[in-house]
Amino acid sequence: MVPMQRRTVQLGLAAIACITLLVGAIWFIAHAVRERMAARLADAQAQEIVALLGLADTADFHQRLDTVRAFINDHSQHKIDAAFWKSHGVMGAFAAGVMAHARQPSTERIHMECSTRTNLMGRIVQALGYQTRVVSIFDSHTNLSSHTFLDVMNPETRRWETEDADYDIYWRRTQSKERVSLADLAEDIQGIEPCGRQGCGWDAASREGIKANRLKAYLDIVSVTDKGRDIRYALYTSRAFDPYATAAAP
């Protein structure tokens, strides 16, 4: 290759590298802007729901959580279909859909599932000043089928308490009746029970007829994500499938 050709190739490669860096920088900036816009919209929607429910005038911690949990469950439906995925890709669609049905019950409830209901409840609860973490539980004996719900820190006791907007339940100790975190007590399912609007017990069911006893199969592995404190960990209960024990069996 003659010097002139080599120089031309070098300039071409340098130009390509510059363009690549420029495109990457533009993408990064655009992504950051979208993330910022999404956060602002989510915060605004959460504040709108807080005002809609009159939560600023409600001082009781549990009453606030019960109100938010029931609101999300009442004005959405558990359904994963084309309509769900269409909303899933639109900024603020789930919160807007829940508010739309609350204001006009004749409209169809927006389609959601456990994680989107959990995320929306988390945003609303955070707007009230409470610390939250997301908990997922997995069935280790099948294909790791999972369920997701929210834990909220009780500011008085400094203990986590579970709120499940998908099943419309919270959890408590069977004996003392104090509210607890299912994540913290997943090993002792005999000592805790879910509570819904119709009462407490493993037969408690949501408005949609989803019974809490379905969760027993998922209480093998517990994954906890606390983004606020950058904490992530997983717990394995004694019911979790142990491949090593199976391999060692005669």
* Residue 30: per-residue pLDDT: 56
Q: Which two tokens stand for residue 134?
A: 């997301």
Query: Torsions phi, psi of 77, nearest 5?
Result: -135, 145
CA dihedral 103, 109, 114, 120 (to 10 degrees): -30
Confidence of residue 208 (pLDDT cuts 50, 70, 90): confident
Long-range contacts of 47-53 (CB under 8 A, 24+ apart): 47/127, 48/99, 49/95, 49/98, 49/99, 49/124, 49/127, 50/124, 50/127, 50/128, 52/99, 52/102
Element containing residue 173 per DSSP (H, E): strand 169-173
Distance CA 245, CA 232 (A): 27
- Greatest mean pLDDT among 52-61, 141-150, 152-161 lies in 152-161
* Higher pLDDT among residues 4 and 194, named by residue: 194
Q: Is the pLDDT of residue 250 over 50?
A: no
Strands 132-138 and 221-226, sheet pairing? antiparallel
Please, what is the average pLDDT of the chain?
87
Q: Which two tokens stand for residue 143?
A: 């294909």
Distance CA 48, CA 239 (A): 42
The pLDDT tens digits of the residues spanning 5-54 come to 666 655 566 667 667 666 666 655 555 555 566 677 778 899 999 999 99
195 near 170, Cβ under 8 Å? yes
Q: Where are the domains of the chain?
A: 3-248
Give the residue among 95, 121, 118 at the shortest CA–CA distance from 42. Answer: 95
Give residue for tokens 């009159």: 54
